[in-house]
Amino acid sequence: MSEQPKEGDLQVWWVPQVPMTAFTVAVPDVATGRLICQVLADYDTFQFENNVKPDYCNAGGINVFEDGEWFDYMEDEDDV
């Protein structure tokens, strides 16, 4: 992110090949974050199934900015 995050900001983090450094992208809401994570996972699967990369171990999720730090976003039953 280029500007300072604010309380409650959300971002998707994604590591396309562990142990690489994650890249992040700001998202406006959790639903968009979920969609982006699903698209990235589907893209990694597509690359694997079409021999673009021989193997992979990816990881990703949504972070929320709270108390001056990024934390893993934890969904509760109301979010699902």
What would the pLDDT profile of 36-58 be if each residue is shown by its tens digit?
Answer: 999 999 999 999 899 898 877 89
The sign of the CA dihedral 3, 6, 10, 13 is positive
Segments in 1-80 forming alpha helices (H): 30-49
How far apart are alpha carbons 65 and 32 in whole angstroms?
16
Task: Name the residue among 28, 29, 21, 9 with its Cα closest to residue 60.
Answer: 21
Express each pLDDT in 8-46 by its tens digit.
999 999 998 888 999 999 999 999 999 999 999 999 999
Residue 41 Cα distances to 20, 68, 76, angstroms: 16, 29, 22
How far apart are alpha carbons 73 and 80 in whole angstroms?
13
Specify the pTM.
0.84
